[in-house]
Structure 1
Amino acid sequence: MGKVYYISKNVGIGLFVLAAIALTTIIALSIAYHKERIKNRGRPGDGASDNTSVPTPSTTPFTSKDPWDHYRLPDSLFPISYNLTLWPRLEPNADGLYIFTGNSAVVFKCVKETDLVIIHSNKLNLTGNQVKLSGLGDASAPTVDKFWFVVKTEYLVLQLRSSLAVGASYVLHTEFQGELADDLEGFYRSEYTEDGVKKIVATSQMQATFARKAFPCFDEPAMKAIFNVTIIHNPGTVALSNSRETDTADSVIDGIPIKVTTFEPTKRMSSYLLAFIVSDFVSIQSNQNSNLLVRIWARKKAINDGHGDYALSVTGPILQFYEEYYSAAYPLSKSDQIALPDFNAGAMENWGLVTYRETALLYDPFVSSTANKEGITSIIAHELAHMWFGNLVTTRWWNDLWLNEGFASYVEYLGADHAEPTWDMKDQIVLYDVHKVFAVDALASSHPLSRREEEVNEPSQISEMFNTISYSKGAAVLRMLSEFLTEPVFARGLSSYLNTFAFSNTVYTDLWDHLQQAVENTASVQIPHTVHDIMNRWTLQMGFPVITIDTQTGRITQKHFLLDPESVVHRPSQFNYTWFVPVKWMKTGVEQQQYWLLQKTDTNSQMRVSGNDWVLANTNVSGYFRVNYDLGNWERLLSLLSTNHQALSVINRAQIIDDAFNLARAKIVSTTLALTTTKYLHKERDYMPWESALRNLDYYILMFDRTEVYGAFQAYLKKQIQPLFGHFKSITANWTKIPEGHTDQYNQINAIAIACDVGVEGCRELIKSWYRQWMENPSHNLIHPNLKSTVYCRAIAYGGVKEWDFAWTMFKNATLASEASRLRAAMACTKLPWLLNRYLEYTLDPTKIRKQDATSTIRVIAQNVVGMPLAWNFIRAKWSYIFQQYGKGSFSFTNLVAGLTMRFSTEFELQELKQFKEDNLHIGFGSATMALEQAIEKITSNIKWVRDNKAHVHKWLTDEST
């Protein structure tokens, strides 16, 4: 059960009065709003406020001495509730702008004496009576002497003539107007065309610091409050918010009919989880649970075509699974999920109203692929996990974002596995998260999961926290924690944590406290140190260890793993980069008792072997570390792969390949040893080992596809892939059906894609014939959805203008977002430079490429060996514009920098990137700042690796391909 939130009698009366006032003045205020125009968008001057005149707020120059110069709110005031009314206009005004107007009454309590009210407000123009301050109960409000905006820290500041009384509650009334822009932030505008008619959706994205663009608010996660929301909107549209609607009334403003929708008060929650949407969307709903309203919302055509059915079918089971897993009931009365045409993130966990890109929620069984279906299930499971972990209980500040996102990234696999038990989703975390984040966390420029609060202050620093470390490393270390505590003990600790801190805020150590209590109440679980002591080493210092096992002596060592062993780590560690490492292991196929490596060097006599015995550590990759062995044990594992690879689990075959390649890059083992792990692949039919190998070999492609090494590489890979290509050709009756197994379907895609890339006989002709048949009959696409991405890309690469233009036409006419996404990526595969340059220019035009897709389109063009230099030149020429449009993004912007530079491996390219950094310091890099530093480090490492390995790799590939 959730903790009940109580307020004082005086505050309760005040809220009631405010609600009554808001309802009776909506129409009058709305008339005024309707007549408002956005004017004087420059910096207005100072003005005094006596609550009768209308002062004009000023913009103060930035200094560093005053409370409003700091990015964190003062701790003198705390919000209790908001009464918020918003009216988005879905038609442009006389100035050609889409606007919204609104009023807010925030009740706050003074907890420390102050003569200032500082509240977030960004890009809002105050209108009407602008700002009023009143007291609640017996409190009388001081006069507002003046107020002004601080642009840098995004504050509205009120200077009072006397101090507020500690313990008293007050109400700040504001009336405001903002632009309903298409910037994908705050309260914004999404556009789409249906049946030839342009439609407008007013929607929102508040995380992390954008609620202040919608209304003045205390916009920090610890400033939880209750929100009473009223939306004014056009007839024929529906308004949605976090809680259930209680009433929708018809009215008329200035001769224009409107609707007024009010909603139940929300639970006590953070401002970044608030959401409101006005659209003409429709919904389907589930009747499985009469006490909970579950709905899927989307464009009418999408719902009518059944594209929301799959999402609805898995939502109920996932919610029920989490209720059991957390031992806590779903905290709200409804669960809405909505697919938006324009949305910067993949999805957002707004409490009770989760927003998604259309590709992340809508599924067409006739057009969507297995990967689309898996992605939808996983994303829904991720966002619904947040309803408890993140929303019900919220971390106090963004430096602990990893706890919210890492946790959801871990348990999404559990939720998805419950919804689709035949998919073996729990294993996929190794490929999708653990191996993925190893690559980033092995850099000297990485950062700890939990950073110091003072490191994360500015909005760009907050956005930068939404990165692979927070999501994937967070998932990996929490999975490791769950493994060594056991899942039941882990879940009991979570339940205690969630029920104790419901509707409140925490720091990560609160979770360790409750997990430790669960351990102490379970006699069967023994750990060598407290949860605090063990986990602090994984969260407070960056990176991870590589453990080396000498099976001749039983000696075990650990050290900080760095891809470039010559790189310098400047970030100090109180633990001297040592970890408490839980090692699950086996000897010659027999599982052994878990071993803890608690220091840099230790000896375990049980790990000594003789004869043909072998040791494999980190079974099922349950721990967040890499493993190295003495050469003799490596040779025995390689021999096992070549003679009886199925003696090792699928996960551990993938692990051996991934560890070996990365140990080779770090100069711990030879590159020859790493390449030797792939020699057995001609016998391999399972997805995970092949996927692991191809991801690692992809690095060789990036480093060598512009050199003479690439010919030998293709010849070797052709030799390895031909049997897999033949296998799938056989079991699919010459490509006429799809494999039954979930991961087999993925490996069929690998077989076709690689076979075509390296020239396996018959593959390219097959691809071109499928695409040609579609071009001849555009309304009848016989290409299986699983294979579309592969076929589209390669057919366009092997073709010319005709194939590209056909894809463009089909992209513009696509009614399913996932199909449009496939075509958008495939058009980047052409080998014609002028077409790629034209495509790059399209990313600057939102009528051609939506803003949400611009940076990812540039990135996929850069993945093309022909497109890489074109995209690099394009970005350098357009950086100012691109930064202005997308610089506050999180993953999309950081991934852009990584994608552009992934092939860079020469000193010339490194100097170009450094010059680019120098030339654009005055513009900035926003949430890509850290990604830029990591790119420089990666390129430096690439240069050294190519210099040291090119000749050896070329010789080995030549010898093995004959």
Structure 2
Amino acid sequence: MSKESVMSKTMAIAFIVLTISAITGLITMVILYKTQIDPMNPTPRPTFPSTTTGPPPVMRLPKNLVPQRYKIFLQPHFYTKIIKEVNVTSPNQTLLFTGNSTVNFHCIQRTRTIYLNSMDLKVSEPQVKHQDKNEQIKVSGMIFHEDDSNFLEIQLKDALEAGGNYSLSLVFSGEVSESLYALYISTYSEGHPEYEGDPNTERFLVSTNLEPTGARSVFPCFDEPEMKAVFDVTIIHRLDTLALGNEDVAGSSIIDDWKYTRFHPTPRMSTYLFAFTVSEFTATPSKHERVLIETFARPDATKAGYTKYAANITGEILKFYEKFFEINYEQKTLDQIALPDLAPAAMENWGLITYEEGALLYEEGVSSLLHKESIATLIAHELAHQWFGNLVTMKWWNELWLNEGFATYMSFLAVDHVEPAFKMRETNVLNSLHSAFEADALASSHPLSPPQEDVQTSTEINEMFDAIVYNKGSAVLRMLADIVEERVFNKGIKMYLSNLKYENADQDDLWTYIQKAVDDDGGHTNVAKVMHPWTKQIGYPVININTENGQIYQTHFLFNDSSESSLWWHVPIRVMSEVSDSRLVWLETSNTETKDEFISKEGEWILANVNCTGYYRVNYNSLNWQRLLFQLESNRDLIPLMNRGQLVDDAFNLARAKLVDVTLALNSTRFLWNETAYLPWEAAVRNLEYFGLMFDRSEVYGPMQAGAYLREQVRGLYSFFKNYTDHSAVPDDHSLQQSQITAIHVACSNGLPECETMAKKMFADWMNGNGTNHIHPNLRSVIYCQAVAAGGEKEWEFAWNKLQSSTDTSEKDQLRQALSCSRKIWLLNRYLQYTLDSEKIRRMDVASTIYYVAKNVAGHALAWNFIRAHWAFIIVDEGQLVIEGVTSRFSTTFELQELERFARDYDLSYTARTVYQAIEQTRVNIQWVKENKDTILNWFEGETSS
């Protein structure tokens, strides 16, 4: 799965936050997550109050029965469109689904009880059969456990014998969900105004979204990832619809006006990968020598060519992975489908990958060119899962990072291969690294691989899908590849995949195969010894280097310096100097050591963590910091590009942790006046946005916003692109396109007159141009936001009407974001109220819309009041995202008290960790503001006066 909720929409959110910067004047992505800490970690952590009501002590299924094969018939009874008959007051739609299943299993240990999972299903007619003897076994009772285990207990008159093969048949029914989980219903308009169909005709489809524990809500099953089985599936659906499943179609028949579509049996796979859809969608094929690849979408979207880009690159990415892993994709078909509604950005179901359509469709002339980056990265992520997750699956959800960390890491390599012009390897690596750093700098973080007993309930499992698992997982894999060399690392993961195919693994299995590759190559790295601290402890180190005497030591990096920690890591340090190339040096204790590699000679600077291959921050003595910053200002090209961004990011975060003076962080941005590369600017503006969040309601914000510093720093960058921007054009170079957007955001939000004039004029021309939009798609997000912010009701209503009439998902997303940029409180309040009406704001867009409003200083208090008034409605969707947005500005004692009261009085459910992490961050913010407010005010006042 790709989350945003971290990859759920992580890339989209990053782009969205850029838009909101028109209000705050600064740009960021703040991702805060929280889960458990490994018992080996002595760091104090908050105590989380229980949000469940007495779950049983054992939440896991017993291991005495091993499922082998399911035979499933499922019949969703929904209609694809509403038929309103004369004299009939209610429409014909029904959300009922029915089915029956038979699961064959092997008995390991004698038992009179069968346990499996079932949730929100009416289950009846249990029949148990001894397959070896062809004998029925009488069922004496059936009990549903009303707790978070979701156990369905089948009690038997006679015991199942060890070594025997049995089957359990059940009949079941349930309701198709309207909450985008399990088996759910989705809606869309049938036609595009320029193509066939009536755009006002509402259409319906059903789809599954089962990760992590949704399968039990579709059919009774052994719903744990290690209990793999073969699935033999038949979908019964209406004649005018198409059923897609995990495998290709084996045959079909028509019985009583229903179509029976039978699929070939799947490979052995986990229940969370089970998937099917029933729709009227049409397909676009991809090129591949052996696999039939088709990308499905709304018929009008297919006809308009919106699926072409995805279809064009999917086959190329799949071929890249097949060659890289030296293992062919296992099935004959691979379907992708762009769904109007999906909670995550995508889900990697084996053979049937589902995508939220806005994340997959691309419309030439309307979608931003940069949107191709997110499409390619998302497809690469989901296709990587066909090996990491589907072919080889983690044993339990506590090691989810073996799925998601690998898929994130591999997506960087795949996109770099199929779209080298994007130069996404550097950009994605830093974005991923910084997301992980932010989440992992709190005492309430969690290890990559927590103990299994800490991840038991569905709530605890869902909380694992965060920036730690996705982004830290990717970062430590990249670090390990650098330690042992990529070719050795690649050999190890090929053996891991080949030897464990169709099975389950834990991280020790991964270390074993990489160790074998290391040994075969004559290496001496003890892989498990090096990696265990990185996966079994929370957090990461800051490496402290004194270049005057060569002394070096590590400490646990935390924003809250009152949290004591004795953690240490085996740290690989790639170090270079002004006159020497990079080399690898190990730091393997928490004690101060002296190493010649870190002694500066004849005034040269030392740079550690070259190209950011290590998962740590670096702090230097004052003199080396001065030399590095001088080098950035005098000849920045001697510093590798990724490190130019990382030096800025480290300086700001070290200042947040009170390890360096805040003026050092601010001084690290001085070289930007002559910088055109995206990564350094992104790092600076994202970090400065934290300053904006802390001070945009205080007297500090005047000099920050109205002062000349950022306006003058960005003037050169804006001028570099001015000819392009004034003519609504973009450069050919993909990286420069990103820099152009940054230039416009920073320039307009800091009052550069020519930028403000340009933005307002372009939007006014669109409003007065008979509906023709001549704003380049790359620039629309920032122009829309600027215009709505500077305007009033007329501009807001124009954008709202365009949102309602548009059929392009990319355009709709940009307009939806821009509407939150208004400075009119009454308009923002109305916008929040619209999220309660699914006719105005789709359910899947509710959380992100509230998030956008909360990030606007004018809408922050409104959003906080709104979520408390409507929490029961909001938490059904992405409550974590809403909490992150609304609490990111909290920095006063009163706000802390309100947040703590919220934690006491509301049912937090799966957002509990996010809320308690926000409480910790708010405490850090209060202290940081108290200690740095005057210094920051003086610095900006000094810049303004000079």
Whether these two folds match at TM > 0.5 is: yes
2:236 pairs with 1:244: no
Shift of the alpha carbon at 1:778? Answer: 5.3
Give the stretch that moved more between structures: 641-650 or 898-907: 641-650
1:358–1:818 Cα contact (<8 Å) kept? no
Residue 721 of structure 1 is aligned with which of 710, 714, 719?
714
The answer to whether residue 174 in structure 2 is matched with residue 191 in structure 1 is: no
Alpha-carbon displacement from aligned partner over 1:267-308 (angstroms, at most 9, x marks no partner) = 00000001010000000112431x210110000011101111
Structure 1: distance between partners of 2:728 and 2:873: 48
In structure 2, the partner of 1:138 is 133
Task: Determine the C-alpha separation between the residues in 2 that align with 1:774 and 1:139.
Answer: 74
The 5 Å alignment of 1:74-93 reads: 74-91=62-79
Q: 2-side partners of 1:484 and 1:139: how far apart?
A: 57
For the residue of structure 1 that corresponds to 2:104, the secondary structure is strand
Q: Which of these residues, 586, 589, 594, is aligned with residue 596 of structure 1?
A: 586
> How has the CA–CA distance of structure 1 residues 804 and 462 changed in structure 2, closer, same or farther, with 3 Å as cutoff?
same
Are 1:141 and 1:170, in contact at CA under 8 Å, matched by a contact in 2? Answer: no
CA drift of 1:151 comes to 2.6
Q: Which amino acid aligns with 1:951?
A: D
- Matches of 2:748 and 2:873, distance apart in 1: 38
Equivalent residue for 2:8?
A: none
Alignment of 1:842-853 (within 5 A): 842-853=834-845
Cα distance between partner residues in 2 of 1:586 and 1:665: 26
Indicate the SS of the match to 1:265.
Answer: coil
Alignment equivalent of 2:888, drawn from 884, 888, 902: 902
Q: Which amino acid aligns with 1:144?
A: V
Question: Aligned to 1:552, which of 543, 548, 555?
Answer: 548
**SS at the partner of 2:285?**
strand
Q: CA deviation at 1:734?
A: 3.5
Change (3 A) 1:861 1:173: same
Q: 1:98 aligns with which of 75, 95, 99?
A: 95
Q: Which residue of 1 aligns with 2:327?
A: 328
The secondary structure found in structure 2 opposite 1:390 is: coil
Contact 1:141 1:164 in 2 (8 A): no
CA contact 1:359–1:372 (8 Å) conserved in 2? no
- Alignment RMSD, CA only? 1.6
Per the TM alignment, residue 171 of structure 1 is displaced from its structure 2 partner at its CA by: 1.3
Query: Structure 2: which amino acid aligns with 1:247?
Result: G
1:124 maps to amino acid:
L
Q: Aligned ranges for residues 378-777 of structure 1 at < 5 Å? A: 378-523=377-522, 525-527=523-525, 530-568=526-564, 576-600=566-590, 601-714=592-705, 715=707, 716-730=709-723, 732=724, 734-777=726-769
Cα distance in 2, alignment partners of residues 541 and 733 from structure 1: 48
Residue 360 of structure 1: how far off its partner (Å): 1.4
The residue matched to 1:163 in structure 2 has which SS?
strand
For CA contacts below 8 A with separation 6 or more, give which structure has more relative contact order. 2
Q: Is the 8 A contact 1:202 1:278 kept in 2?
A: yes
Q: How does 1:369-384 map to 2 (within 5 A)?
A: 369-384=368-383
Deviations for 1:439-461, whole angstroms, at most 9, x for unmatched residues? Answer: 11010111100010000010010
Structure 1 residues 802-856: Cα deviation after superposition (integer angstroms, max 9, x where no partner): 1111111111122121211111111111111111111111112222111111111
C-alpha separation between the residues in 2 aligned to 1:661 and 1:63? 44
Equivalent of 2:171 in 175, 188, 208: 175
Give the C-alpha shift of residue 162 in structure 1. 2.0
In the TM superposition, what is the alpha-carbon distance from 1:567 to its structure 2 partner?
Answer: 3.0
Aligned residue in 2 for 1:232: 236
Rounded to whole Å, the distance in 1 between the matches of 2:879 and 2:55 is: 29
Residue 589 of structure 1 and its aligned partner are, at CA, apart by 4.7
Q: Which residue number corresponds to residue 935 of structure 1?
A: 918
Deviates more, 1:848-857 or 1:336-345: 848-857
Query: Which blocks of at least 5 consecutive residues in structure 1 are unaligned?
Result: 1-60, 570-575, 887-891
Structure 1 residues 941 and 287 mapped into 2: Cα distance closer, same or farther (>3 Å)? closer
Q: Helix, strand or coil: the match of 1:172?
A: strand
- State, as a whole percentage, how many aligned pairs show the same letter: 44
Distance 1:691 1:733, change over 3 A: closer
1:733–1:394 CA distance, 2 compared to 1 (3 A): closer
The within-5 A match list for 1:38-187 is 70-91=58-79, 97-126=94-123, 130-138=125-133, 140-152=135-147, 153-187=149-183
Residue type of the alignment partner of 2:480:
L
Aligned residue identity for 1:639: F
CA separation in 1, counterparts of 2:668 and 2:744?
22
Does the CA-based 8 Å contact 1:589-1:648 persist in structure 2?
no
Deviation at 1:150, TM superposition (A): 1.4
Residue 777 of structure 1 deviates from its aligned partner by 3.2
Deviations 1:399-443 (A, max 9, x none): 000111011111100011111011111111333110121111010
Question: What is the Cα deviation at residue 236 of structure 1?
Answer: 1.7
Structure 2 gaps of 5+ residues are 1-51, 83-89, 191-197
The answer on whether the counterparts of 1:62 and 1:150 sit within 8 Å (CA) in structure 2 is no
TM-score (norm 1): 0.89
The one-letter amino acid paired with 2:280 is D
Which one-letter code corresponds to 1:205 in the other structure? Answer: N
Which of the numbers 927, 934, 940 marks the counterpart of 1:951? Answer: 934
> How far, CA to CA, are the matches of 2:140 and 2:818 in structure 1?
60
Letter in 2 for 1:279: S
What residue is the counterpart of 1:912 in the other structure?
A: 898
Residues in 1 aligned to 2:54 and 2:830: alpha-carbon distance in whole angstroms: 45
Q: Distance in 2 between the 1:63 and 1:624 partners?
A: 39
Indicate if the aligned counterparts of 1:283 and 1:295 stay in contact, CA closer than 8 A.
yes
What letter is aligned with 2:904? Answer: E
Tell me by how many angstroms 1:95 deviates: 9.2
Pick closer, same or farther for the CA change 1:63–1:605 going to 2, 3 Å: closer
Deviation of the 1:926 alpha carbon? 2.2
Native 8 Å contact 1:104 1:175 kept in 2: yes
- The alpha carbon displacement at 1:681 in A equals 0.9
> C-alpha separation between the residues in 1 aligned to 2:579 and 2:731?
30
- Residues 504-562 of structure 1, C-alpha deviations (whole Å, 9 max, x = no match): 01111100000000000113x443xx100000010000100000111111111001001
Q: Secondary structure at the match of 1:337?
A: strand
Task: Tell whether the 8 Å contact from 2:287 to 2:312 is kept in structure 1 after alignment.
Answer: no
Q: Hey, what does 1:19 align to over in structure 2?
A: none
Q: Does 2:258 match 1:258?
A: yes
* CA separation of 1:287 and 1:554: change in aligned 2, threshold 3 A: closer
CA contact (8 A) 1:343 1:852 kept: yes
Counterpart for residue 46 of structure 1: none
Q: Return the TM-score normalized by structure 2.
A: 0.91
Deviation per CA, 1:224-254, whole angstroms, max 9, x where unpaired? 00000101111121000000001122232xx
1:854 aligns with: 846
SS of the aligned residue for 1:606 comes to helix
Q: Is the 8 A contact 2:287 2:315 kept in 1?
A: no
Q: 1:804 aligns with which of 757, 773, 796?
A: 796
> Which amino acid in structure 2 is aligned with residue 618 of structure 1?
N
Q: Per-residue deviation at 1:148?
A: 2.1
Deviation per CA, 1:720-765: give whole Å up to 9, x if none.
Answer: 11111111104x2743421121111011111111111111012122
Q: Distance in 1 between matches of 2:795 and 2:695?
A: 28
